[in-house]
Amino acid sequence: MHPSFPSTRLRRTRTHDWSRRLHRENVLAPADLIWPLFVIDGEGAEQPVASLPGVSRWSVDLLLERVGEAIELGIPCIALFPNTPADRRSDAAEEAWSPDNLTCRAVRAIRERYGDAIGIMCDVALDPYTSHGHDGLLDDSGYVANDITLDALVRQALNQAQAGADIIAPSDMMDGRVGAIRQALEEGGHANVQIMSYAAKYASAFYGPFRDAVGSGDRLKGDKRTYQLDPANSDEAMREIAMDIAEGADSVMVKPGLAYLDIIRMAHDRFDVPVFAYQVSGEFALVEAGVAAGVGDREALVMEKLLAFKRAGCAGILTYYAPFAARVLHG
Ligand code: PBG
């Protein structure tokens, strides 16, 4: 016989479940998950998001129940996204730095009820607050202008830190915002507040249901291609990540997830900070549509995709499937 005995040379370790488990290179755990949650005004209010089957917007009192569920499931962090009432949206997005905006009220309520039992992450970007649905402020020509937006983002970030946010997550893609926010946090007495930067955020077609959920989709004029990354580029994503790290980001995010696994792998191999992925709304909705169409089993499809993020090098994943996946993992 040939000395390499090739018949089942690579396959024999896969013969039994115990052996597959023994040789497994990557595992997913509830501690890898961050759960994005949508918040609305009111009390006792649950509003299903039509384009995200099984996902709802919650008023703060009911949001607290979801957060309790997350803690029980071992999910270490939630991310808050407000659906701001229409009369509080404006061209200048002032509601973003109102201490009583939905996000701040939610942060304070969570902190009061649960202390430090769970991390609270807040998005920094103006789209839930602008009348036009863009992440930044517009100049006279309608262009999303970088430098005038920075001031607004810093005020928004400080406002969230003052309310008690643990992680500030700038998702706006303005240049220089991480440095400006880091400096303001230091000077404002928030040295322990982390920054997880949406460093490689692409101008993607997969954000549609999210824009529905926060109520910015119908308002949005044009697209976000003048500030979000071109899906054709990967070297540029590395430059974005390098810049955010140099400015003080504690961790970076790649978004969307599945179509950008190569970017996650490149970032993981190249940089020394934790890399997170956002499995975005359109990715979630596509799985749900697939399940409804009989493509496959939800659990199998979801767990395979989440594991792919770990294999690509992610420290963790933002996903609307967080509670579902945590339940599966608990058995
Ligand atoms: C806002 C923001 C977006 C998402 C997270 N933060 C949408 C966008 O950039 O238009 C998308 C998340 C998702 O689709 O689940 N800046």
Largest separation between any pair of C-alpha atoms in the chain? 80
Q: How far, in Å, CA of 206 to CA of 10, rounded?
A: 38
- 88 or 221: which carries more pLDDT confidence? 88
pLDDT 10s digits, 84-112: 999 999 999 999 999 999 999 999 999 99
Residue 2: per-residue pLDDT: 65
28-330: in CATH 3.20.20.70: yes
Q: How far is CA 252 from the centre of its chain?
A: 11
Residue 9: per-residue pLDDT: 76
> Residue 21 is which amino acid?
R
Domain definitions of the chain by residue range: 28-330
Mean pLDDT of the chain: 96
Instruction: Give the atom of ligand 1 at the shortest distance from the alpha carbon of 280.
Output: 15
Residue 98: per-residue pLDDT: 98
pLDDT 10s digits, 184-217: 999 999 999 999 999 999 999 999 999 999 999 9
Express as a percent the part of the chain with pLDDT over 90: 96
Stated as kind and residue range, the H or E segment containing 306 is helix 298-312
Residue with CA closest to ligand 1 atom 7: 207
Given a contact cutoff of 8 angstroms between Cβ atoms, the answer to whether 107 and 120 are in contact is yes
- Ligand 1 pocket, CB under 6 A: 123, 125, 127, 135, 171-172, 207, 210-211, 224, 280-281
Average pLDDT over residues 254-277: 98
- Is residue 55 scored above 60 in pLDDT? yes
Average pLDDT over residues 170-180: 97
Half-sphere exposure of 66 (CA within 13 A, CB side): 29
230 alpha carbon – ligand 1 mean position (Å): 15
In the DSSP assignment, the letter for residue 176 is T
Q: How many helices (H) and strands (E) does the chain have?
A: 11, 10
pLDDT 10s digits, 275-322: 999 999 999 999 999 999 999 999 999 999 999 999 999 999 999 999
Stated as kind and residue range, the H or E segment containing 124 is strand 119-124
Residue 4: per-residue pLDDT: 67
Instruction: Give the atom of ligand 1 at the shortest distance from the alpha carbon of 282.
Output: 14
Residue 7: per-residue pLDDT: 73
185 alpha carbon – ligand 1 mean position (Å): 23
Instruction: Give the atom of ligand 1 at the shortest distance from the alpha carbon of 208.
Output: 14
- Is residue 3 scored above 90 in pLDDT? no
- Confidence class for position 10, pLDDT limits 50, 70, 90: confident
164 alpha carbon – ligand 1 mean position (Å): 22
Strand partners, 255: 201
Task: Give the global pTM.
Answer: 0.96
Q: Which of 57, 144, 153, 171 to mutate to test the pocket of ligand 1 (most atoms within 8 A of CB)?
A: 171
pLDDT 10s digits, 28-53: 999 999 999 999 999 999 999 999 99
Q: Which of 122, 229, 280, 319 to mutate to test the pocket of ligand 1 (most atoms within 8 A of CB)?
A: 280
Half-sphere exposure of 105 (CA within 13 A, CB side): 19
Please list the active-site residues: 201, 255
| DSSP letter for each residue of 48-117 | E-TTSTT-EEEEHHHHHHHHHHHHHHT--EEEEEE---GGG-BSS-GGGG-TTSHHHHHHHHHHHHHTTS
Residue 160: per-residue pLDDT: 98
- Confidence class for position 1, pLDDT limits 50, 70, 90: low
